[in-house]
Structure 1
Amino acid sequence: MSENNILEMTNASSNFGKVEIAPEVIEIIAGIAASEVDGVSQLQGNFASGVVERLGKKQHGKGIKVELTEDGIVVDVHVFMNFGISIPDIAKQIQENIRETLFTMTGLDISEINIHVVGVNFESTTEPEVE
């Protein structure tokens, strides 16, 4: 890893050069992977990301924090869950989906994926039946 927080990967099978992946790219990939899991209502964002989304641009990296440590890459995910689901089961699915997606897309192995449940969404996404 370089001193400016960019992940460097070298490909042993070729001598073309190096590939650098910014932590923001990992945040975006992890955010999309977490959002794909049924039971996740939304990822936690801040005021700025809420304003940007209202203007029509999707913030895929919100609620994700990537930290490059001596032991490896640590991903923290802050999510709101839907009411009525098993939080431990959904959290495990989020961890598995993020790990698999990041490995498939970047070849990186993540040392930790920490799930922080910051809220529960009680609103139903289905329309009530009208008699």
Structure 2
Amino acid sequence: MAETPATTTSNSSTGPGRTVIEDGVIAKVAGIAAREVPGVHALGGGAARAIGAIRNAIGNDDRSQGVKVEVGERQVAADITIVAEYPAPLQKVAEDVRSAVADAIQHIAGMEVAEINVTVQDVHIPEDDSRESDPRVV
């Protein structure tokens, strides 16, 4: 998706002017909202999560990981890639992500949401974490 800054025109009490909201800000707002949804384990596909793990290790967290946005003057379209928790109902998690992201963009950025596409890339099974940490030999 194209990276263009969002521009909204405002006539505030201080007079006319422009407010520019960069794409990265919208992506970060969307990422934060999506991560707060119950049933979402992580955002992004395998490669994005691997790069995110490296970023986290050096203390540079990317809140927009797994989020792509296209921003117009007044509208936003977003593609969100998630890893869902097992056994959360995937359709409900995707719908909750869509709703949370739309609400956050409308409330925080004051922009209209054209569409939000959610891709469930993987399902996280909690037992897999415990198996990885168990030693194979004693």
TM range (shorter): 0.7 to 0.9
Choose which of 112, 115, 118 in structure 2 pairs with 1:115.
Answer: 118
Equivalent runs, 1:41-52 vs 2, <5 Å: 41-44=41-44, 45=48, 47-52=50-55
Choose which of 73, 83, 100 in structure 1 pairs with 2:76.
Answer: 73
Q: Identity over the aligned pairs, expressed in percent?
A: 25
Aligned to 1:24: 24
Structure with a larger share of its residues in helix: 2
CA–CA distance in structure 1, aligned partners of residues 74 and 120 of structure 2: 24
Correspondence 1:10 to 2:13: no
Q: CA RMSD in A?
A: 2.5
Deviates further, 63-72 or 82-91: 63-72
Runs of 5+ in structure 1 lacking a partner? Answer: none
Structure with a larger share of its residues in strand: 2
Runs of 5+ in structure 2 lacking a partner? Answer: 131-138
Choose which of 59, 63, 70 in structure 2 pairs with 1:60.
Answer: 63
Q: Give the partner amino acid of 2:54.
A: V
Aligned pair count reads 124
Aligned to 1:36: 36
CA–CA distance in structure 2, aligned partners of residues 33 and 50 of structure 1: 20
Question: Contact between 1:31 and 1:60, CA under 8 Å: does it hold in 2?
Answer: yes
Give CA-to-partner distance per residue, 1:7-27, whole Å, 9 cap, x none.
111113442421000000001
